[in-house]
């Protein structure tokens, strides 16, 4: 069966790509549907953020547990359970007649997403062991991870405009059910751990810590950074994660063996995944506002406007991991990608009320996409390379956790920076429409600074030279 699975590896990549696309889509697809859902179910503006936050909280806080469950009980089982659960939660959310049911369904989507996302990435890691093929596979998977958010915006626009906001949830059934059937057919059963032990104290500390951080950042966005609730949750999150590290150092069966994150390249890759997410979420958020509110784009046109960026991501994601990573290692690629992303953001700071898409938005989007592709795929490959098979799930979960926390930081930090920039512009006598554009360009300058600082940090942290497994031509994963 193991050999059979290897022979079907490219079909397996298609199946895992579909699962990854669904998880990434759901972070953005609902954003465009929110006004229609709000009108249909009659909830307030304050309540609206819970449809986004409910998903992020459940997903982020349960990822490490989801990754470890895959390691202990078999990644095929975990993937199928995650896919079917995600489909069911999506069906309930699509049919929701009340706000409470919709939020509960979104939280359930997040929980099942936390089961399937690490399982998919670790299955990719254990299926592709030849360094050349692994580079190709991770390039395609990284392109889906980087471009899925933009595809979500387009799909959300099309479904909301031509069908109904409910289809932004129902569409997951068309992705999850075929993926689950594919997993049953293509994947080997996979052995369970002989005596599976779950580190419950570590699980509680990690889940509560990430939950508190993501919740704290979401509150910073709405209530401000000096609010007692915001500060309390952020401080509590940091404290709980410190307790988690202390527990893991002593645990006999740790949730996250510290050897997984102690490696310099792996640690640098996790950091890169989190840092690139900070900037990416900012771009999607403010550029969506700008295109719709300032340039008057429809939701569908806004989605289409992001497609060139997806193409640029795919170009560098696939070439960097297939051709460059095995020869050069991650150190020149990830900092170069961060520098390109910073340059793309600087180009976007030139937008104004009278700007055009082709002249002022597209160049920045293309450069930004080239940079993101150069960071995303090599970071995912490096983060899971050389990990023993029994740790592959939790190593993969760390990539997703870094992205989720990074996205939450980015949304909160950049939203509050933009809001204060707009307020001070209006107070200085500026027109409201000019104030909105000023707030976006301020956020873009900050994003450029974050990417530039990330280039320096990752250059210092990552090791020089090609990965040992690529030089030796040895399998990357222990089977």
Q: What is the mean pLDDT of residues 143-172?
A: 85
d(C-alpha 192, C-alpha 134), whole Å: 25
Give yes or no for a contact between 211 and 239, defined as CB atoms under 8 angstroms apart: no
The SS3 assignment for 356 reads coil
pLDDT band of residue 89 (cuts 50, 70, 90) is very high
Of 229, 254, 279, the one marking the end of a domain is 254
Q: How many CB atoms lie within 10 A of CB 3?
A: 8
**pLDDT tens figures, 152-161:** 888 888 888 8
On the question of pLDDT at 477 being above 70, the answer is no
Domain co-membership, 130 together with 209 = no
Domain co-membership, 167 together with 207 = no
* Most distant CA pair in the chain, distance: 71
The number of folded domains in the chain is: 2
**pLDDT tens figures, 220-237:** 877 888 889 999 999 999
In a domain, residue 467? The reply is no
Domain co-membership, 362 together with 236 = no
d(C-alpha 252, C-alpha 215), whole Å: 30
pLDDT band of residue 86 (cuts 50, 70, 90) is very high
On the question of pLDDT at 13 being above 60, the answer is yes
Domain co-membership, 139 together with 161 = yes
Q: State which of 164-173, 196-205, 248-257, 418-427 shows the largest mean pLDDT.
A: 164-173
Distance (Å) of CA 440 to CA 61, 206, 354, 424, 445? 30, 34, 14, 13, 9
The residue range of the domain holding 274 is 2-198+255-462
Least confident of 54-58, 219-223, 244-248: 219-223
On the question of pLDDT at 275 being above 70, the answer is yes
Give yes or no for a contact between 244 and 202, defined as CB atoms under 8 angstroms apart: yes
Q: What is the mean pLDDT of residues 395-417?
A: 84
Domain co-membership, 172 together with 31 = yes
Q: Which of 230, 198, 225, 193 is nearest to 215 (CA)?
A: 230
d(C-alpha 6, C-alpha 207), whole Å: 34
In a domain, residue 475? The reply is no
Helix orientation angle between 432-461 and 330-348, rounded to the nearest 10 degrees: 170
Domain co-membership, 164 together with 230 = no
- pLDDT recorded at residue 472: 36
Distance (Å) of CA 330 to CA 59, 206, 267, 353? 28, 28, 12, 40
- pLDDT recorded at residue 194: 59
Of 226, 254, 282, the one marking the end of a domain is 254
In a domain, residue 471? The reply is no
On the question of pLDDT at 2 being above 80, the answer is no
Domain co-membership, 78 together with 167 = yes
- pLDDT recorded at residue 479: 29
In a domain, residue 361? The reply is yes
- pLDDT recorded at residue 4: 54
- pLDDT recorded at residue 365: 94
- pLDDT recorded at residue 126: 81
CATH number for the domain spanning 280: value is 1.20.1250.20
Domain co-membership, 244 together with 168 = no
Give the end-to-end CA distance of the chain in Å, rounded to a whole number. Answer: 13
d(C-alpha 197, C-alpha 255), whole Å: 9
- pLDDT recorded at residue 1: 45
In a domain, residue 478? The reply is no
Domain co-membership, 231 together with 108 = no
Least confident of 304-318, 356-370, 441-455: 304-318
Give yes or no for a contact between 402 and 384, defined as CB atoms under 8 angstroms apart: no
Domain co-membership, 314 together with 242 = no
Write out the DSSP string of 351-371: --TT--IIIIIHHHHHHHHHH
On the question of pLDDT at 341 being above 90, the answer is yes
In a domain, residue 293? The reply is yes
On the question of pLDDT at 467 being above 70, the answer is no
Domain co-membership, 379 together with 244 = no
- pLDDT recorded at residue 362: 95
Distance (Å) of CA 166 to CA 33, 94, 117, 150, 159? 8, 5, 23, 19, 8
Of 254, 287, 320, the one marking the end of a domain is 254
- pLDDT recorded at residue 321: 81
On the question of pLDDT at 191 being above 70, the answer is no
Q: What is the mean pLDDT of the chain?
A: 85
Least confident of 180-194, 197-211, 317-331: 180-194
Helix orientation angle between 330-348 and 264-289, rounded to the nearest 10 degrees: 20
Buried b (16+ CB within 10 A) or exposed e, 108-141: bbbbbbbbbbbbbbbbbbbbbbebeebbbbbbbb
In a domain, residue 274? The reply is yes
| Residues of the chain above pLDDT 90, percent | 30
- pLDDT recorded at residue 475: 36
**pLDDT tens figures, 301-323:** 888 998 899 899 888 988 888 88
Please indicate whether residue 147 or residue 275 has the higher confidence score (pLDDT): 275
Distance (Å) of CA 354 to CA 361, 363, 423? 12, 16, 21
On the question of pLDDT at 61 being above 90, the answer is no
Domain co-membership, 210 together with 292 = no
In a domain, residue 469? The reply is no
List CB contacts of 359: < 8 A, sequence separation 6 or more: none
Give yes or no for a contact between 160 and 299, defined as CB atoms under 8 angstroms apart: yes
Angle, CA of 64, 67 and 73, to the nearest 5°: 135
d(C-alpha 30, C-alpha 403), whole Å: 19
């Amino acid at each position: 069966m193991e050999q059979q699975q290897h022979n079907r590896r490219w079909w397996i990549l298609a199946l895992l790509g579909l699962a990854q696309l669904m998880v990434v889509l759901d972070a953005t697809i609902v954003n465009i549907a929110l006004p229609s859902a709000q009108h249909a179910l009659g909830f307030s503006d304050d309540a609206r953020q819970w449809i986004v936050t409910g998903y992020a909280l459940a997903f982020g806080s349960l990822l490490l547990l989801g990754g470890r469950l895959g390691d202990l009980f078999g990644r095929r089982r975990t993937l199928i359970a995650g896919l079917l659960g995600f489909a069911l939660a999506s069906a309930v959310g699509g049919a929701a007649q009340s706000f409470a049911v919709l939020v509960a369904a979104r939280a359930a989507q997040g929980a099942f997403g936390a089961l399937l996302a690490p399982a998919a990435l670790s299955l990719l890691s254990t299926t592709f062991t030849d360094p050349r093929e692994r580079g190709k596979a991770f390039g395609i998977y990284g392109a889906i991870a980087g471009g899925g958010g933009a595809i979500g915006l387009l799909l959300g626009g099309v479904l909301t405009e031509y069908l109904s906001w409910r289809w932004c949830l129902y569409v997951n059934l068309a992705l999850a059910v075929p993926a689950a059937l594919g997993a049953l057919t293509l994947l080997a059963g996979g052995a369970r751990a002989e005596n599976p032990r779950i580190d419950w104290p570590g699980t509680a500390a990690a889940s509560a810590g990430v939950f508190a951080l993501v919740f704290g950042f979401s509150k910073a966005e709405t209530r401000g950074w000096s609010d007692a609730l915001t500060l309390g949750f952020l401080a509590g999150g940091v404290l709980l994660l410190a307790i988690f590290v202390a527990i893991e150092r002593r645990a006999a069966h740790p949730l996250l063996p510290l050897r997984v994150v102690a490696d310099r390249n792996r640690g640098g890759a996790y950091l890169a995944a989190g840092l690139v997410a900070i900037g990416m979420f900012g771009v999607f958020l403010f550029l969506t506002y700008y295109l719709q509110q300032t340039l008057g784009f429809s939701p569908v046109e806004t989605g289409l406007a992001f497609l060139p960026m997806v193409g640029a991501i795919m170009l560098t994601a696939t070439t960097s991991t297939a051709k460059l990573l095995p020869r050069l290692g991650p150190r020149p690629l990830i900092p170069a990608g961060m520098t390109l992303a910073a340059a793309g953001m600087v180009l976007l700071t030139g937008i104004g009320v009278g700007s055009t898409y082709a002249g002022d938005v597209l160049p920045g989007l293309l450069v930004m996409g080239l940079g993101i592709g150069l960071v995303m795929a090599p970071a995912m490959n490096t983060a899971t390379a050389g990990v023993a098979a029994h740790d592959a799930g939790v190593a993969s979960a760390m990539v997703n956790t870094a992205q989720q926390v990074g996205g939450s930081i980015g949304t909160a930090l950049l939203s509050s920076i933009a809001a204060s920039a707009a307020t001070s512009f209006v107070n200085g006598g500026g027109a409201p429409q000019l104030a909105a554009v000023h707030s976006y360009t301020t956020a873009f300058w900050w994003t450029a600074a974050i990417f530039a600082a990330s280039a320096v940090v990752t250059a210092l942290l990552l090791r020089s030279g090609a990965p040992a497994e690529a030089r030796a031509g040895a399998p990357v994963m222990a089977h």
